[in-house]
Structure 1
Amino acid sequence: MDYAQYMLDEMPAHHEWAFHDIKTSILKCTRWQVEETTDFLNCPYHYFCDSNYVGDYPAFIDLVVLIFITYCFMATTFFTLVDLTTTKRGVPNNLILRKRKYLVPSGPILLPLVLLILAKGQRINTIFPIAHVGPAILLLLQVSALAFRNEADQDLRYAVLEASTVSGILHASLYVDAVILPYYTGLDALMGSRLSGECTSCVCRNEPLIVGGKSAFYRGLSRTTLSIIFALCSRMVCRIYGEERISVVIRNTLEGLSWFFVAFDSVFLIRASPEWVNCRVVCIGVLGLICFNVFGKVYRFLGWLELRRMQRKAEVSSIP
């Protein structure tokens, strides 16, 4: 339970609605302004919120978002299992590969919808608050982009699809930061300040208020996002200019590093957000997807090694 909710529960009944409005205006504030103060002893830093919160969307919108994210997770799981099945059989299903990009969250159809949800995340705050599950949604998008390559017949079309995926992941990380950083900034304003009474959101502090506060434990625009962007760009280079040995090594290294960072973020969010049930559930599912994908890649790598060994053995046996 966070500090604001604790205070809300402890307030007398006739003050609950008033404090709820104060809490909402502070937690949803996107722009803080500092004012000059003459009371350097009791109020050395005086801040007020310089933005207005329009209000939450109806619960119906949250329900639609919940259904959509559930579908994204199920689609990612389904195609991950399909990849594992085709890996064992050794025969890819071309029809599924062609249709897959339209059904996964990192594809050209669903990716704009995910970005729209994250862009409007501050107002999605009833049943399925994006301030809590936004990082998990970003992880799901990153896993989808790493696991499923864009399939296209022409290099130009492939480059456009891959570039749109890179741009989408970058924008998604920025949108997540735009949702969670004001929340943690406001949370720090509630925990480390006292209301001055001059306005609804006016607070006095003994230290400066920083973006994200002291409790922001996750950033969307992080090393994970950057490593995934570099990995996708390396895929594009290998596809357009050919798979040279050095470029393939760089691509595989970046992809492996990206998988490690995504897995690390998933475990970190599971441990760091025990009170956010929705976030933990999605992160646990994402971690399971990561395990399946890594298993599939290891299985393919071992199969490739076995094939190389058999080819070399055949070459040696054919020498008179």
Structure 2
Amino acid sequence: MEEIHATFFKCISWQMEENFDTINCPYHYVCDKTYPPNYPLFVDILVLLFTTCSYFFTLVIVIMNIISRKEKIFLIQSKRFLLPSGPISLPLIILIFAKGHQINTIFPLSCFGPAILLLVLISSLSFDNEDDYNDIKYTFFAASTVSGILHASLYLDSVVLPYYTGYDALMSSTLSGECATCVCRKEALVVGGKLVKYKGWSMTTFFVVGVLCLRILCKIYGENVGKFVSRIKVLMERLSWVLISLDCVYLMVYLPQERVMLRVVVFGGIFVLILLHVLKEACSQIYMMVYVVENLRLASMSTPIQTA
């Protein structure tokens, strides 16, 4: 049964065959093609180490930004490249997703690939290097991040959609007995199945990409961009965080019950970054209120008292 389950999850093509029992088996499917065998164990270990280092690097920078309003010099220079959305880590993540069908031993990307994509989205929203670049360099950097996010989303879907399709075929069907993967269904099998609705190429990804594009416009045109565009950008940023939070909670609850403890740890870590972002925004609002109150107090003290 374990081999049958593995075949279901790695199936590329489900072929619908003719069946004469239209009452008990209106739709009869068989797995026609599967992905190649998995890579050796050390590949999963390298991917696990890489994603773990990327996560903790992001976590450290977020905590330092909350503790101190002034970033350290070495972080200003290094975070451009070492963050998950940076020009070094993001191409590696795209390569990992492109080969994700065969990374499925101890750290299956079919389960944890969405968490890596959420980490990239959080990184791109949290850290904006606008002050570190001129207009041309910032535009190139942000545009490459947009392209990388879209490519990563597409490659992730090529990994998770066959997994979700196999999960639907396994849970919502009955084995017909004609072959190891022959199943009978009451309804047609669709790509991605109907049990898990998460997609990498989703509204969340498009909102984050939209935020990055608006940041490019604001950087190029500056104050001439207008208050309306600036407000749209702020609104889209907040909606992006809401969508990321909803995706994180959904993936923790509705993914197939596989490697449950590791899944809780992975998505729990993503949720910690979301909570830290909320804390950072709250601290920023408090700092702003204290600054305004202090200015008003100094202004009142410096105003001369007029007597009649």
Q: How would you bin the TM-score normalised by the shorter chain?
A: 0.7 to 0.9
CA contact (8 A) 2:196 2:254 kept: no
Aligned to 2:239: 257
1:261 is matched by which residue type in structure 2?
L
Aligned to 1:169: 149
Q: Is structure 2 residue 31 aligned with structure 1 residue 52? A: no
Q: Is structure 2 residue 191 aligned with structure 1 residue 214? A: no
Q: SS where residue 90 of structure 2 aligns?
A: helix
TM-score by length of 1: 0.84
| Correspondence for 2:250 among 268, 271, 290 | 268
Aligned to 1:240: 220
Cα distance in structure 2, aligned partners of 1:236 and 1:71:
29
Deviations 1:218-245 (A, max 9, x none): 2222222121111111111111111443
TM-score by length of 2: 0.87
Aligned to 2:60: 78
Cα distance in structure 1, aligned partners of 2:159 and 2:261:
18
Cα distance in structure 2, aligned partners of 1:144 and 1:193:
40
1:165 is matched by which residue type in structure 2?
T
Residues 81 and 181 of structure 1: CA distance in aligned 2, closer, same or farther (over 3 Å): same
CA contact (8 A) 2:176 2:184 kept: yes
Instruction: Report the identity percentage.
Output: 43
1:96 is matched by which residue type in structure 2?
L
Deviations 1:94-114 (A, max 9, x none): 442222111111100000111
Residues 94 and 238 of structure 1: CA distance in aligned 2, closer, same or farther (over 3 Å): farther
Deviations 1:88-131 (A, max 9, x none): xxx34344222211111110000011111122222111111111
Aligned to 1:295: 279
Q: SS where residue 49 of structure 1 aligns?
A: strand
1:49 is matched by which residue type in structure 2?
C
1:107 is matched by which residue type in structure 2?
G
1:141 is matched by which residue type in structure 2?
V
Say how many residue pairs are matched. 299
CA contact (8 A) 1:136 1:279 kept: no
**Cα RMSD (Å):** 2.4
Aligned to 1:4: none
Cα distance in structure 1, aligned partners of 2:263 and 2:6:
21
Residues 236 and 305 of structure 1: CA distance in aligned 2, closer, same or farther (over 3 Å): farther
Aligned to 2:11: 29
Q: SS where residue 174 of structure 1 aligns?
A: helix
Cα distance in structure 2, aligned partners of 1:154 and 1:32:
51
> Runs of 5+ in structure 2 lacking a partner?
none
Q: SS where residue 33 of structure 1 aligns?
A: strand
Q: SS where residue 156 of structure 1 aligns?
A: helix
2:26 is matched by which residue type in structure 1?
P
C-alpha displacement of 1:209: 0.8
Q: SS where residue 30 of structure 1 aligns?
A: strand
Q: Is structure 2 residue 120 aligned with structure 1 residue 120? A: no
Aligned to 2:204: 224
Q: SS where residue 220 of structure 1 aligns?
A: coil
CA contact (8 A) 1:86 1:93 kept: no
| Correspondence for 1:205 among 170, 185, 188 | 185
CA contact (8 A) 2:176 2:183 kept: yes
2:221 is matched by which residue type in structure 1?
Y
Q: SS where residue 172 of structure 1 aligns?
A: helix
Q: Is structure 2 residue 170 aligned with structure 1 residue 190? A: yes
C-alpha displacement of 1:192: 3.0
Residues 279 and 171 of structure 1: CA distance in aligned 2, closer, same or farther (over 3 Å): farther
Q: SS where residue 11 of structure 2 aligns?
A: coil
C-alpha displacement of 1:142: 1.1
Cα distance in structure 2, aligned partners of 1:240 and 1:287:
33
C-alpha displacement of 1:205: 2.4
CA contact (8 A) 1:133 1:278 kept: no
Aligned to 1:63: 45
